[in-house]
């Protein structure tokens, strides 16, 4: 039987002593912490998977080649002009008809113009030759750039394909975390179902504040003028809520001895979530390493996805969640005797 002189808190069909209430609120706080850490881990992993799926290959390079300029037919023009000019001069000596002589004179003038143009084109061809030489150098430079860009493009295609395959493998780890989150939520609903805490205050911010009040001795009960409900509502209006992990951790030594193993488990969970975030962050470097391999096998992807920190984190969450539920059920077991 419970000592009625120590009973200060009622909830549903239960009456709890000050120390039992502190134990219970401590367990609720720890379960809320597990839920928060699990949700954070899921969010980080979802972001990583989304980033992997969003990796796109580089645009495929296009080889830029500028055609060389055609040179003028200067030598043909000069040779043809000289031959026509000589023939016209010979014929001019042989004919006596004024009209034919006039026509041959025009031919001679035209052939001279053709020769002059040929020489001008020959000079222009020297300039075209130099331009074509520069074009050839630029084309070679563009070809070398294209070859290098094509290699980077091929790597980016392989990386994008590998990233999507890795995202698919990591979905299994995400499923594990989500499954455990569902269990944690169910267990949290279960320990709330003892109706020690009013429904309006069943959230992480309120429970964290209650835990700090009870652990620090600011309150010894939830109800009443000096209870945690009233203090929380007052500090909410004043924006002085102690939703601060450092404040909470500073009072953990006040928790009963039988809860310390659970506190240590949650502290370890807080440390491991940082390690797990670092491990998730290393996925990109691991991806880069295996994407450069000549052949990426499912074994390579599994080695990345089967992340030791991630699996250890989820295992510790499961173990802590089971211990917390059993501890809360143990608190109320005597009330059924």
- Nearest-5° angle of CA 108, CA 112, CA 115? 140
Average pLDDT, the chain: 75
Q: Is 143 within 8 Å of 66 (Cβ atoms)?
A: no
Asked if residue 213 belongs to a domain, the reply is yes
Burial class (CB in 10 A: 0-12, 13-18, 19+), 256: exposed
Residues in the chain: 337
Q: How far apart are CA 186 and CA 105, in angstroms?
A: 113
For residue 319, give the nearest of 253, 252, 272 by alpha carbon. Answer: 272
**Helix (H) / strand (E) containing 11:** strand 7-11
> Which comes out higher in pLDDT, residue 23 or 169?
23
**Helix (H) / strand (E) containing 15:** strand 14-17
* Same structural domain, 217 and 287: yes
* Same structural domain, 172 and 249: yes
Q: What is the distance between the terminal CA atoms of the chain, rounded to a whole angstrom? A: 8
Domain membership of residue 282 as a residue range: 4-58+160-336
pTM above 0.85, yes or no: no
Is the pLDDT at 243 greater than 60, yes or no? no
Give the pLDDT confidence of 46-59 residue by residue, as tens digits: 888 888 888 777 77
Is the pLDDT at 169 greater than 70, yes or no? yes
- Give residue 182's pLDDT band: very low, low, confident or very high (50, 70, 90): very high
* Same structural domain, 8 and 52: yes
* Same structural domain, 87 and 221: no
* Same structural domain, 198 and 139: no
> Which comes out higher in pLDDT, residue 199 or 71?
199
- Give residue 196's pLDDT band: very low, low, confident or very high (50, 70, 90): very high
Give the pLDDT confidence of 301-321 residue by residue, as tens digits: 666 655 666 777 778 788 888
- Give residue 260's pLDDT band: very low, low, confident or very high (50, 70, 90): low
Can you give the pLDDT at residue 306?
A: 59
1-15, 65-79, 187-201: which has the minimum mean pLDDT? 1-15
* Same structural domain, 137 and 194: no
106-110, 132-136, 252-256: which has the minimum mean pLDDT? 252-256
For residue 92, give the nearest of 81, 79, 78, 107 by alpha carbon. Answer: 107
* Same structural domain, 270 and 228: yes
- Give residue 198's pLDDT band: very low, low, confident or very high (50, 70, 90): very high
Q: How far apart are CA 161 and CA 183, in angstroms?
A: 34
* Same structural domain, 318 and 205: yes
- Give residue 26's pLDDT band: very low, low, confident or very high (50, 70, 90): confident
Q: Is 209 within 8 Å of 46 (Cβ atoms)?
A: no
Domain boundary among 97, 130, 150: 150
- Give residue 73's pLDDT band: very low, low, confident or very high (50, 70, 90): low
The total number of structural domains that make up the chain: 2
- Nearest-5° angle of CA 176, CA 325, CA 322? 40
Is the pLDDT at 258 greater than 90, yes or no? no
Domain boundary among 150, 175, 192: 150
* Same structural domain, 47 and 190: yes
Domain boundary among 129, 150, 171: 150
């Amino acid at each position: 039987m419970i000592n009625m002189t120590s009973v200060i808190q009622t909830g549903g069909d239960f009456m709890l002593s000050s120390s039992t209430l502190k134990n219970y609120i401590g367990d609720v706080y720890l379960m809320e912490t597990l839920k928060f850490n699990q949700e954070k881990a899921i969010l980080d992993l979802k972001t990583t998977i989304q980033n992997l799926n969003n990796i796109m290959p580089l645009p495929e390079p296009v080889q830029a080649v500028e055609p060389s300029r055609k040179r003028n037919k200067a030598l043909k023009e000069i040779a043809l002009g000289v031959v026509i000019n000589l023939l016209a001069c010979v014929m001019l000596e042989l004919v006596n008809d004024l009209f034919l002589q006039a026509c041959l004179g025009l031919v001679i003038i035209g052939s001279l113009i053709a020769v002059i143009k040929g020489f001008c084109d020959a000079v222009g061809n020297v300039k075209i030759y130099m331009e074509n030489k520069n074009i050839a150098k630029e084309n070679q430079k563009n070809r070398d750039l294209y070859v290098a860009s094509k290699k980077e493009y091929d790597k980016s295609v392989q990386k994008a394909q590998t990233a999507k395959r890795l995202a698919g493998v990591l979905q299994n780890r995400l499923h594990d975390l989500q499954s455990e989150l569902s269990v944690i939520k169910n267990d949290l609903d279960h320990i709330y179902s003892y109706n020690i805490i009013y429904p309006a205050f069943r959230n992480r911010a309120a429970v964290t504040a209650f835990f700090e009040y009870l652990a620090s001795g600011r309150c010894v009960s939830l109800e009443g003028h000096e209870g945690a409900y009233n203090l929380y509502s007052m500090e909410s209006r004043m924006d002085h809520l102690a939703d601060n992990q450092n404040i909470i951790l500073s009072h953990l030594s006040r928790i009963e001895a039988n809860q310390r193993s659970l506190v240590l488990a949650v502290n370890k969970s807080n440390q491991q979530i940082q390690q797990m975030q670092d491990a998730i962050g290393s996925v990109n470097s691991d991806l880069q390493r295996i994407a450069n391999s000549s052949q990426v096998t499912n074994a390579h992807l599994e080695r990345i996805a089967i992340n030791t920190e991630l699996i250890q984190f989820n295992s510790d969450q499961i173990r802590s969640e089971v211990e917390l539920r059993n501890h809360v059920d143990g608190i109320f077991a005597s009330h059924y005797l």
